[in-house]
A and B are shown apart, each in its own frame.
Chain A
Amino acid sequence: MIDKVNLDPVVDVQNISKDYSGKIAVSNLSMEIPAGICFGLLGPNGAGKSTTLKMVYGVTSPNSGDIRVFGRDVTKYTRETRSRLGVMLQEDVMTDALTPRQNLETFGRYHLITKLDLSKRVDWVINFMELNSHADVKVRNLSGGFKRRLAAAMAILNNPELLILDEPTTGLDPAVRHVLWSKIRQLKAEGKTVLLTTHYMDEAERLCDQVMIMANGESVIQGHPRELIKSELMPEVAEFDCSETEEMKILENIEEKSLALRSGDRLMVFMEDATRVLEAINQFDGGSRRPVYSRPANLEDVFLSVTGLRLGEGQ
């Protein structure tokens, strides 16, 4: 006997488009998010990430295309869908005059959680998000990090199957980011599906099983972060400052296949073996050029190569 496994994606987006009075926000976008994974929407500001999220939780409707969440059309079953998901917005939108505990109790009522369950549930999320020390301090007196923990606590209060996080760690210090990352990993380990947006590539590499890079409202590329790095770029990068004429001279004797990306004076050369470039630089000016270093290619490089090139094309 084979166990019946539900293979339907938790979020199934097909060819959605959205414009705001003629200005295109999202264009012909598709994505499928299977249960239990963490899916990252990456892209520069204004790429359409937040609009896509809003359409997934049904606050905004697409002009065309289909969105199914938990197998059902979100524009028709909005209330039910939202009872099974939790959203952490980009901005902190809790009530300043209330404490985290009071904010959570209010939020629980919107989910129609009964009084007895609510106090248990509130205690649980306060504990889980490590908010205990500040649970009864007015929100207006909380630091940014504690506000974000509260925002996350509000998103998981209803024990959602799908967690939607819009730039969960933007503007936070590294310690708080690590706390939030570990919480997200724990929630994923419990079987929750996570959909997040970020413009931090390290965050995406750490958390996401699959990413989609967006630019100008379109999907540019989708896949597993490490596979994207492998398929899009050579494994190593040499990074250094040089002018365009110097670039030609340094790279003229390198026969190996390479890709060079330039941003101002900074040049990144992607190769199988980046030491070849370092040697070429040394030959060119006798080792006086600093800083020069080589490193493995990462998701940020993929991001820059796909969005950067597209931005270039558009200009």
Chain B
Amino acid sequence: MSVSVRHVLSVWHRNASMYRRTWKLNLLPNFFEPVFYLTAIGIGVGAYISEIGGLSYVAFLAPGLVCVAAMNGASFEVTYNVYIRLAYEKTYSAVITTPVTPEDILFGEVLWAVTRATIYGGGFFIVASLFGLVPNMMAVLAIFVIPLTGLLFASIGITFSLHMPTIEFFSFYFTLFLTPLFLFSDVFFPISERLTGFWLNAAEVFPLLHPVRIVRSIFNGDWGLHLLWDLGYIVVVSAILLFWAQRTIKKRLSN
């Protein structure tokens, strides 16, 4: 069996139409979170910081928070929501009695998570531009990094969800994985200035670091080959995880 684009879209469509019904409830908390960080940390704490890498602190913060918004948008979708459909509502057991395959479900869910990441990341990007934090026209290109961030965290999250024995494990995912990423991935301070040697290299494992670095480079007009490493990380890690997840979802739904 294979993946069929139309069937993948039918899975995506299901989530999109659910979301359309409740978007006001869902959008507000997720959307305001990075806005609060921007104002409290960026403007509040930032008042005590003269400048960082030649920028005001709030301007330093903006690119990272774009990626954080995308990361959160994707993560909520592929963790709790996917797990509920998989293990509680068992919607997938009904879906696979139709021509939709487990692989279609996987890619439909990931595509939807990317969509949600784009809504949140894009929304925050607009807010940041209203604050005057998008420095120039070229910086608008950073918008393309938002769905890529979504893809990376959708792949990580859904792979995790497919292997979780119980729903309680998601609190580990959020507090022991996403929270440290949020704090130590160049969002609040440049880790390259705080870490040295082995630890600086080891930090490259952190997934959020890579999209943040790309968006920051684009904002600063710092185009170079180093972006290929970050881009390559996102694409390769997502591909490996999705390959693994594809095998797992087949096994989980075929028994």
Contacts and interface: CB of A to CB of B under 8 A. Distances in A.
Interface of A: 20, 57, 59-61, 78-80, 82-83, 86-87, 89, 91, 93-98, 102, 106-107, 109-112, 154-155, 158
Given A59-B253, A97-B18, A154-B94, A83 B89 contact: no
B90 interface: yes
A8 B98 CA distance: 24
B88 to A, nearest CB: 10
B89 A93 contact: yes
Contacts of B101: 78-79
A24 to B, nearest CB: 15
Contact of B94 (A60, A79, A94, A111): A94
B93 interface: yes
Contacts of A80: 99
Nearest to B108: A110
Interface in B1-40: 1, 4, 6-7, 10-11, 13-14, 17-18, 21
Contacts of A158: 98
Q: How large is the interface on B (under 10, 10 to 19, 20 to 34, 35 or more residues)?
A: 20 to 34
B89 A61 contact: no
B99 A112 contact: yes
A110 B7 contact: yes
B183 interface: no
B95 interface: yes
14 contacts: A60-B254, A78-B1, A78-B101, A79-B4, A89-B97, A93-B89, A93-B94, A94-B91, A95-B18, A109-B10, A110-B95, A110-B100, A112-B7, A112-B99
Nearest to B85: A95
Contacts of A111: 98-99
Given A59-B97, A95-B89, 16 more contacts: A57-B97, A60-B255, A61-B254, A78-B101, A79-B99, A83-B98, A83-B99, A86-B97, A87-B97, A89-B97, A93-B94, A95-B18, A102-B17, A110-B98, A112-B6, A155-B97
Given A59-B97, A82-B97, A82-B98, A110 B10 contact: yes
B96 interface: yes
Given A93-B90, A95-B91, A112-B7, A59 B96 contact: yes
A107 B11 CA distance: 10
B111 to A, nearest CB: 14
A99 B96 CA distance: 21
Contacts of B89: 93, 95-96
A265 to B, nearest CB: 41
The 6 A-B residue pairs with the shortest CB-CB distance in the complex, in nearest-first order: A87-B97, A110-B98, A109-B10, A93-B94, A93-B90, A79-B99
B17 A106 contact: yes
Interface in B74-94: 89-91, 93-94
A82 B91 contact: no
Nearest to A96: B89
A83 to B, nearest CB: 5
A110 B18 contact: no
A110 B94 CA distance: 10
A60 B6 CA distance: 23
Q: Taking each of B10, B18, B99, which has the highest tally of chain A beta carbons within 10 Å of its own beta carbon?
A: B99
B250 to A, nearest CB: 10
Contacts of B21: 97
B85 to A, nearest CB: 8
A110 B99 contact: yes
Contacts of B100: 110
A102 B11 CA distance: 14
A86 B11 CA distance: 18
Contacts of A91: 90, 93
B91 A93 contact: yes
Contacts of B13: 106, 109
Contacts of B10: 109-110, 112
Q: Taking each of A79, A110, A154, which has the highest tally of chain B beta carbons within 10 Å of its own beta carbon?
A: A110
A232 to B, nearest CB: 34
